[in-house]
Structure 1
Amino acid sequence: MSADTDLLALANVGPAIVRKLARVGITERSQLTGLDPVELYERLCALDGHRHDPCLLDTFMSAVDQANGAPARPWWEYTPERKRLARD
């Protein structure tokens, strides 16, 4: 299985998300294990010089959870958690 295919096997991850992850050095599912999705999102925003849609953070949260062994869930199920994090 190629690295792209490995990431594409994650729910909510398509070619555009694979490209965004690659921009922050993530090219394989195993590299997501134990990472902080907020940090990944912040790194990408800093690299690109603008804030990305917050739904991207939801998708990163989903991908990291799956890499850590959680079952696949739709990205929008992470929105309430992301909103709680924003208040902290």
Structure 2
Amino acid sequence: MKDPLQAIPGVGPRTAEDLRALGIHRVEDLIGQDPEEIYSRLCAREGGHSDRCNLYVYRCAVYFAEGGRERRLLEWWRWKDAARPPLERLRALGAPVLDG
């Protein structure tokens, strides 16, 4: 049976393993999560630093878990710091957005 976390675009075996180590076992566990906080926990677990691409994947993963299906936004590299879609654009696309 395929790992349910690998149903998330951009999440492969290693990222799924990292998420499980952080207490995230299902796609639904990402709903309402702060990608920055997940990344901070990963950095702490790895001794203070982790590849920033992990943050971009977490941003995409939370978007997906919260129902986001805009095809372009399901590509993790679209969530880089400079390319991160503004909340207003996500709302205009009908994407669920949690403020805060």
1:35 maps to which residue?
33
- Which runs of 5 or more residues in structure 1 are unaligned? 83-88
Structure holding more helix per residue = 1
1:86 maps to which residue?
none
- TM-score, with structure 1 as normaliser: 0.83
Q: Distance in 2 between matches of 1:61 and 1:40?
A: 9
Q: Distance in 2 between matches of 1:21 and 1:6?
A: 11
Q: Distance in 1 between matches of 2:50 and 2:66?
A: 24
2:56 matches 1:53: no
1:81 maps to which residue?
84
- Aligned residue pairs total 80
Q: Distance in 2 between matches of 1:11 and 1:58?
A: 12
Q: Distance in 2 between matches of 1:19 and 1:35?
A: 17
Q: Which runs of 4+ in 1 moved over 2 A?
A: none
Deviation at 1:19, TM superposition (A): 0.5
Percent of paired sites with the same residue: 35
